[in-house]
Amino acid sequence: MATFLYKLGRTAFRRRRLVALLWVALLALAGVGAATAPAATSSSFSIPGTEAQRAFDLLEERFPGAGADGATARVVFKAPDGAKMTDAASKAVVEETVSALKSGSDQIVSVTDPYTAQAVSRDGSTAYVSVAYKVNAMELTDETREALKQAGHAAQGKGLTVELGGDALQSMPETGAGEIVGVVIAGIVLVITFGSLVAAGLPLLTAIIGVGIGVSTITALANVLDLGSTTSTLAMMIGLAVGIDYALFIVSRYRSELADGRSGEEAAGRATGTAGSAVVFAGLTVVIALVGLAVVNIPMLTKMGFAAAGTVVIAVLIALTLIPALLGFAGDKVIGRKQRKGTADPEKAAKPNAGTRWARFVIRRPLFVLLAGVIGLGAIAIPAASLEMGLPDDGVKPVSATERRAYDLLSDGFGPGFNGPLLVVVDGDRATADRTVSTIKGLDGIAAVTPATPNKAGDAAMITVIPKDRPSSGATEALVHDIRDATGDDVLVTGATAMNIDFSQKMNDALVPYLALVVGLAFVLLTVVFRSILVPLKAALGFLLSVVAALGAVVAVFQWGWLGSLFGVEQTGPIMSMMPIFMVGVVFGLAMDYEVFLVTRMREAYVHGERPGEAIVTGFRHSARVVTAAAVIMIAVFSGFIGMTDQMIKMIGFGLAVAVLFDAFVVRMAIVPAVLALLGHKAWWLPKWLDRALPNVDVEGEGLAAHDAGTAVKDLVKA
């Protein structure tokens, strides 16, 4: 592989104008496709194989036009002290609001009058208007949302406290600010790392081009493949991350080759042949992690994984072709001005860099470093044993949000469980539905049960159950299971709360198979790359340690509330169900990037004759600075999301930033060299039968050495 990529790099360097033109043309083509394609809508969200999903399907079949999976909103009214919502003045305001809502949008299915729907609290202090929509929250138009807000605002100015709740207010979070901050920080880190604006600009430029092509392609195909408006989010995050990393690795190796006195074309070829080989296999591990999301069997996640994997493939291809081409345009400008002019201090250049000094420290005290790293991460991981997964609701939003205030008003006026009603669907006649109502009333944890509402055909019915406890509580989850156990197969429980419970259970059940698939395939891949059993095993175990530690930190902050005020956590709650699998997929890819780039340089030195300890030092001397820069950039990008108000985005940003911090600086930069130092030559042991069976991909560039030797012989013969 190294020889093939070496030739590819040299070709791209020589034909740089053609290569650059091709990538610009692809970017323009994708941009035109995205601009001319119909606007993307939200893809349908489904959880195949769950009872909640079967209930929704039954509702669509037996109650056509009911909008069972449509968005909902609640306009919550609270009377001033000493007044009631049943007073004439309050009634007049509510009736005006109901009228305004009914005429506010053609996406509305129904608007309920609280005085005929028994939606007034017993003490008369609180009332609410329910609004049902034809489409889900992501498909609501801005005009529809604005009409809802205007109706609430108008009522607010007439003496009542008015708050808005429900998923109708939900919209895609604006993440542009976080991304811009991340790119700015990335640029600063790259300038510090390379000491050259040109060298710093290349990874940013190529990463943006790669993300532009990937996201534009997703946008262009969104309606054809039902990708939805949320699919590009993960693709953008991963594409930006790996795009910068892969370009960073190759540019860094190119600078090293130039420093060794090689010509620009030869340096580009060697950088692509060596660092490019690491990029290929690092990219494969990321693709495995993203495509592996298909095992969860949730269509939305599968599409997001495949779309992001496509963006990663684009990033790899750009690193192998466009980067050498741009290096041809840049020439020696990728090196700092002092080094180009020969004015750099030779004594300073000869001193061991920070990576070399750290590697020597680890080699002197490998057991101490190993124990410190493992015990430290193990202690941070302890809270992960108390992990409670769910989907955070309006109750965990900041009190400044109207959804949170509406949630609190409803809890105070009608009880905590009112914010999480359960919808029971009966596949049977009226007698069956009445028996189901009686059975449910006999269960513990019930606040109220409405009479059954049959469909027109009389072969199905809906029952609303109000739990006593809040939606995300363990008691409500137990109640859902109790209803399912106490009723027959013709009774199905659904609703947002039940859907969240089933979703969390499905994600929990998929975590171990997903880990086994991703780590297992990556282990095989790394065995081929490193020609070793223990090095891939150490890489996989180190990754698991860093992920569990990151989950422990997330639980401590977002579930227990430790240091919550520091990170803007106003209300603790369950950890988002997608968080563990999402973290595994994203962090695994980045962790293997750092592992492959760092350890392949060690492997390269070892294969070329250095002793194990010397090879570790060589790997750190050439790679530690680059891996550190890549990790700092990713931490900065992910940390930019912590400042957002959305609890889920905040949680994802914190979790990913902490996971990269642990994996890059504790596992890859401390535990990995410590283990390699303790193992010595055994680290690179591979059974002979397995060595013969595995394909030789030549990541360390042995083929290039043979190529050099052959070229030298030919030159002598010609002479």
Count of residues making up the chain:
719
Q: Mean pLDDT score of the chain, rounded to an integer?
A: 84
* Model confidence band, residue 717 (pLDDT cutoffs 50, 70, 90): very low
* Model confidence band, residue 652 (pLDDT cutoffs 50, 70, 90): confident
Task: Determine the pLDDT at residue 715.
Answer: 42
* Model confidence band, residue 336 (pLDDT cutoffs 50, 70, 90): low
What are the helix (H) ranges across 115-230? Answer: 142-156, 176-194, 197-225
- Give yes or no for residue 623 having a pLDDT over 80: yes
Straight-line distance from the first to the last Cα atom of the chain, in angstroms, rounded to the nearest whole number: 31
Compute the average pLDDT of residues 432-438. Answer: 91
Task: Determine the pLDDT at residue 177.
Answer: 55
Residue 18 CA to residue 190 CA, distance in Å, equals 27
The token pair at 132 is 């049902």
Residue 355 and residue 621 in contact, taking contact as beta carbons nearer than 8 Å:
yes
What are the helix (H) ranges across 365-401? Answer: 366-381
Task: Determine the pLDDT at residue 690.
Answer: 87
Task: Determine the pLDDT at residue 387.
Answer: 87
- DSSP notation for 675-688: HHHHHGGGGG---H
Task: Determine the pLDDT at residue 714.
Answer: 46
Q: Indicate the residue type of 140.
A: L
The token pair at 528 is 């081929």
For 409, the enclosing helix (H) or strand (E) is: helix 402-414
The token pair at 497 is 């709360």
- Give yes or no for residue 395 having a pLDDT over 90: no
Beta bridge mates, 575 = 389
Across 318-322, 449-453, 567-571, 712-716, which has the greatest mean pLDDT?
318-322
Residue 132 CA to residue 517 CA, distance in Å, equals 42
Tell me which residue has tokens 């290349």. 202
* Model confidence band, residue 17 (pLDDT cutoffs 50, 70, 90): very high
Q: Is 490 left (phi over 0), alpha (psi -120 to 50) or beta?
A: alpha
Task: Determine the pLDDT at residue 230.
Answer: 63
Residue 273 CA to residue 631 CA, distance in Å, equals 23
Residue 74 CA to residue 132 CA, distance in Å, equals 9
Percentage of the chain lying above the pLDDT 70 cut: 90
Angle at 578 between CA 424 and CA 294, to 5 degrees: 95
Task: Determine the pLDDT at residue 105.
Answer: 81
What are the helix (H) ranges across 418-473? Answer: 430-441
* Model confidence band, residue 179 (pLDDT cutoffs 50, 70, 90): low
> Which carries the bigger pLDDT value, residue 609 or residue 341?
609
Task: Determine the pLDDT at residue 341.
Answer: 57
* Model confidence band, residue 701 (pLDDT cutoffs 50, 70, 90): low
Task: Determine the pLDDT at residue 704.
Answer: 67
> Which carries the bigger pLDDT value, residue 192 or residue 208?
208
Task: Determine the pLDDT at residue 16.
Answer: 93
**DSSP 8-class letter at 576:** E
* Model confidence band, residue 552 (pLDDT cutoffs 50, 70, 90): very high
Residue 582 CA to residue 511 CA, distance in Å, equals 10
- Give yes or no for residue 384 having a pLDDT over 80: yes
* Model confidence band, residue 342 (pLDDT cutoffs 50, 70, 90): low
User: Per-residue pLDDT tens for 78-123?
Assistant: 998 888 999 999 999 999 999 998 887 888 888 888 888 788 898 8
- SS3 (DSSP) at 448: strand
- Give yes or no for residue 716 having a pLDDT over 50: no
The token pair at 116 is 């005929």
The token pair at 126 is 């609180």
Across 159-173, 251-265, 313-327, 509-523, which has the greatest mean pLDDT?
313-327
- Give yes or no for residue 337 having a pLDDT over 70: no
* Model confidence band, residue 64 (pLDDT cutoffs 50, 70, 90): confident
User: Per-residue pLDDT tens for 37-58?
Assistant: 776 555 556 788 888 888 888 8
* Model confidence band, residue 712 (pLDDT cutoffs 50, 70, 90): very low
Task: Determine the pLDDT at residue 646.
Answer: 67
Residue 708 CA to residue 321 CA, distance in Å, equals 22
- Give yes or no for residue 140 having a pLDDT over 90: no
Q: Alpha-carbon torsion 584, 655, 241, 193, what sign?
A: negative
Residue 273 and residue 701 in contact, taking contact as beta carbons nearer than 8 Å:
yes
Residue 27 and residue 213 in contact, taking contact as beta carbons nearer than 8 Å:
yes
Percentage of the chain lying above the pLDDT 90 cut: 25
- Give yes or no for residue 540 having a pLDDT over 70: yes
**DSSP 8-class letter at 228:** -
* b (16+ CB within 10 A) / e for 169-200: bbeeeebeebbebbbebbbebbeebbbbebbb
Q: Report the candidate in 273, 204, 270 with the shortest Cα–Cα distance to residue 239.
A: 204
Task: Determine the pLDDT at residue 43.
Answer: 53
